[in-house]
Chain A
Amino acid sequence: MRHSTMKIRALYAACMLSLFTGPALAEVTVLGWPGGPEEVALRAAADAYNAKADLADADKVELLFFNRDGFWDKLQADLAAGSTAFDINLLATYSIGRYAPFMEPIALSDEAKAVYGDSVLATMQYQGEQYGVPTDLSLHFMYYRKDLIDALLNDDAAKAKYAEIAEKHLGKKLEPKQPDAWDWDDYTATALYFTQAVNPDSPTRYGTVLQMKNLLFNIMVWQSLPRAYGADWRDDGGKITVNSDAYRKGLEVYKLLYDAGATPRDSLSYEFAEANAAYASGQVAAMLQWNAAAGDLTSTEKSPAVAEVTDTVAPPSGPAGRFTHIHGLGFGLNKNAENKDGAVRFLKWLSSKEAALIYARNNGAPALTPEVVAEVAGERPDLVKLGEFAGKYGYVMNGGTSAKALSVYELQAKEFTGYWSGQQSLDDALANTEKGMADLLKE
């Protein structure tokens, strides 16, 4: 055999081999959120989908995960580069507008509305179009020590001290109440009462723990406070409305608590993990935290000091109502998907009741309507509150799904932490935020 012919055949064989060794067994590739309950739930859902007898091999689902660190930045770069490495990708409420130019709207199953409800479906909408299936929802609970609150409510001397502290710091006498009836003044007064720097007899070192690190997620935790006073990013006409009494009140409450020592002095570097550690130590009376912390903080193994005396309610209310920030993680369609039909079929199934229940039973956190969540309430009691709070108190700021939503949160985090840390005045922080948001959100 001639040498050149041998070379051509060897090359041909190598090409054929490479075809069979590539990821060709599954045709719908899904880029998921790695390393947490979301991954476990997605794997279970994909297994159930792939096990369907009537599913063509070409439509089977393969999952793809990379690291959480910098996930959204990497996804942005991949989508912008027109990547075909995945057909379906993860997206979040606050980043839909950023990714929408590289994605396509989708049609959900007929059951989707009855499974999730309008407010939850809205977390995956952008400019009136549905861009994703809302598989996991995040919102905030107020975690509190019921043993401490009960003791306070049953002690007249403590009540008198509470009223005295409230009058001194808030300018009005308040009476302690059950946490489910708190407004933000009650929250503030309770936080001060349980702070040793304010009340040396307090059984805890701090009344609360605030997450004040210059981080966008911390603004999401905080903003339910001004929202309870009517805050929004902009009005219906598109005018930026952050320079308002509502924002002013929300910022001042945090500043007051920080300056009074009601939260650890290092709170300006605290985020999710630090706040959990502080609360779990037993030295904090109440805090606002993501629902994702519920598992750890009520586990006697992980939080022995507080697990059995911790309860959760929705965040406190204000004159404009009671609110909890919500955002969802979900899955949507890559505009450059190679198997678009298969991807659309999977997404439609993923929005069905069958898929939602599988997802819920396997550690996922979908916010389901009361009728649907009742079917898994025995196994996942936490999802009952999640669905209830999302439906009753959930909100998304006007502009919260826009292309620059993340940048708005970043801007607020920078300006507001600047005020809390005493580096700039409240007026400057609000004026800078208003100006920055006007640039970011201009149509």
Chain B
Amino acid sequence: MTTRRKIEISEFRILAAPLVAFLVLFLGFPAVVNLVYSVSEVSFETLRRPALSGFGNFAAVLGDAAFWRASWFSFRFGLLTAVIECGLGLFLAIFLSPLIEKRSWLLAILMMPLMVAPALVGLMYRLVLHEFVGPVPYYLWAYLGASISFLGAGSAFWTLVAIETLQWTPFALLLFYMAYQAIPAEVNEAATLDGAGGLQRLRHIELPLMRPTIVVALLIRFIDGFRVFDNVYVLTGSGPGGSTASLSIYIYEAFFKQGAIGKAVAASVILFAVSFAVLYGLNAIAARRKGKGR
């Protein structure tokens, strides 16, 4: 090894030390504690002296119908909101692009829903959708003589999807607008000269060039939707019979409401393992595609 290489390694170690210390302290330690708790019988009284009990907590979680129901809710919610938000965001980014180019302040207004904390959004819609104080049911009663049950057992899921979409579509719009603006004008001009119409340019040039951004946006929105907690919890709690409990709500309720700390932590460990496997797989696919592209 050359002297220069040795110096580089030494510098790398020194520079990386604070980051490593931070990760060990704030991620490593809780992760180890979580792993211990997940295989222990532990309560608030015995937080400092958990008794190892094997994999019973994992069995309890995997055998709990509420866990699978919450997993299905999270998956469905994450997938639907990601697809709808990205679809709407993409459409708006392209459709409004000429307008935003001329009046950039419009973008600031469109971004406003992002400024509101999700818990406040939940609170806001508790008022907006309330039959006696909310404007939406008020006008429905006034014009139709009846109102929809927005938060009933059959409709709560779709109401939550709509609220999440209304809040986070601007995020997708922002990403797609930036990606759309980054497409070199010459490419489009060349295609136009070759006789390509608007739809053809969109299909064969713009969308392929925006694909990396679309994939990233879908992933980010799916992750955000999958781990949803605050606005759902404020609006419907875990829903009648647990029908709107996401995985985050399931874990929170198991931990704090039922005092089943081992079970809650075991569920979070399973969630971590599955998330890690999925992300690792996606990363591997992306790396392989990158390799093929070269």
Task: Report the nearest B residue to A422, measured CB to CB.
Answer: B153
Determine if A269 and B151 form an interchain contact, defined as CB atoms under 8 angstroms apart.
Answer: yes
Cβ contact within 8 Å between A423 and B240: yes
Verify A414–B45 contact, CB threshold 8 A.
Answer: no
CB distance from B249 to the nearest CB of A (A): 11
Q: Beyond A404-B259, A421-B241, is A410–B130 a contact (Cβ under 8 Å)?
A: no
In the assembled complex, B224 has its CB within 8 A of some CB on chain A? no
Report the nearest A residue to B147, measured CB to CB: A265
A283-B243 contact, Cβ under 8 Å, with A213-B237, A407-B258, A410-B257: no
Q: 8 Å CB contacts to B: which residues of A75-102?
A: 76-77, 79-81, 98, 101-102
User: Are B45 and A423 closer than 8 Å at their CB atoms?
Assistant: no
Interface size class of B (residues with CB under 8 A): 20 to 34
A269 and B257 contact, CB distance less than 8 A: no
**Interchain CB contact under 8 A, B44 and A215:** no
**Which of A102, A266, A407, A414 touches B129 (beta carbons < 8 Å)?**
A266
Complex-state Cα separation, A80 to B253, whole angstroms: 18
Among B131, B156, B236, the residue within 8 A (CB) of A264 is B131
**B219-242: contact bitstring with A at CB < 8 Å (1 yes, 0 no)?**
000000000000000011111111
Interface flag for A120 (CB, 8 Å): no
Decide if A101 touches B126 in the complex (CB within 8 Å): no
For window 51-71 of chain A, which residues contact chain B by CB distance below 8 Å?
A: 70
Cβ–Cβ contact B238 & A414, under 8 A = yes
> For B147, what are the chain A residues with a Cβ–Cβ distance below 8 Å?
265
Set A77, A277, A418: member contacting B240, Cβ < 8 A: A418
**Contact B149–A423 (Cβ < 8 Å):** no
Check A268–B240 contact: CB distance below 8 A. yes
- Nearest Cβ distance between residue A210 and chain B, in whole angstroms? 12
Q: Smallest distance from the beta carbon of A443 to chain B beta carbons, Å?
A: 15
Q: Is B256 an interface residue (CB 8 A)?
A: yes
B contact residues around A324 at 8 Å (CB):
none
Contacts of B278 in A (CB 8 A): none
Complex interface: chain A residues within 8 A of B117 (CB): none
Let me know if B256 and A277 touch, CB within 8 A.
Answer: no
From A216, A277, A411, A420, residue with most partner B Cβ within 10 Å: A277
Determine if B235 and A269 form an interchain contact, defined as CB atoms under 8 angstroms apart: yes
CA distance A102 to B132 in the complex (A): 44
A274 close to chain B: CB less than 8 A: yes
Contact of A424 with B by CB under 8 A: yes
Interface string of B94-119 (1 = CB under 8 A from A): 00000000000000000000000000
The interface residues of chain A lying within 8 Å CB-to-CB of B257 are 216, 406-407, 410
A194 to chain B, nearest CB (A): 16
Majority SS of interface residues in chain A? helix
Known A414-B238, A421-B240, A424-B241: A277·B132 in contact at CB below 8 Å: yes
The CA of A269 and the CA of B130, in the complex, are separated in Å by: 10
Residues of chain B within 8 A of A73, CB atoms compared: 256
Contact residues in A for B149 (Cβ distance below 8 Å)? 265-266
Instruction: Report which of A76, A102, A213 forms a contact with B236, defined as CB distance below 8 A.
Output: A213
Segment 124-178 of B: residues with Cβ below 8 Å from A? 126, 129-133, 147, 149-153, 156
A411 to B257, CA, bound (A): 9
Q: Does the CB pair A418–B241 fall under 8 Å?
A: yes
Instruction: Check B271 for interface membership: any CB of A closer than 8 A.
Output: no
- Complex CA distance for A385 and B34, rounded to whole angstroms: 50
Is B17 in the interface zone, CB < 8 Å from A? no
- Is residue A251 contacting chain B, with contact meaning CB distance below 8 A? no
Judge whether A420 and B45 touch: CB under 8 Å: no
A421 to B47, CA, bound (A): 37
Whether the Cβ atoms of B131 and A268 lie closer than 8 Å is no
Cross-chain contact A423 with B153 (CB below 8 angstroms): yes
A277 touches B242 (CB 8 A): no
- Distance to closest chain A CB from B130 (angstroms): 6
* With known contacts A213-B236, A266-B149, A268-B153, A277–B253 Cβ distance under 8 A: no
When distances are taken between beta carbons in the complex, the residues of chain B under 8 Å from A426 are none
User: Residue of A at shortest CB range from B119?
Assistant: A69
Q: How far is the CA of A101 from the CA of B259 in the complex (A)?
A: 14
Interface positions, chain A 390-435, Cβ under 8 Å from B, are 404, 406-407, 410-411, 414-415, 417-424
* B241 close to A415 (CB less than 8 A): yes
Q: How far is the CA of A198 from the CA of B43 in the complex (A)?
A: 50
Can you spell out 27 A-B residue pairs with CB atoms less than 8 angstroms apart? Answer: A73-B256, A76-B256, A79-B44, A80-B45, A213-B237, A214-B236, A215-B237, A265-B147, A266-B129, A266-B149, A266-B150, A266-B151, A268-B152, A268-B153, A269-B126, A274-B130, A280-B132, A281-B133, A407-B257, A407-B258, A415-B241, A417-B239, A418-B240, A420-B240, A422-B153, A423-B241, A423-B243
Extra A-B contacts (5), CB below 8 Å, given A76-B256, A407-B257? A102-B45, A280-B132, A281-B133, A419-B241, A421-B241
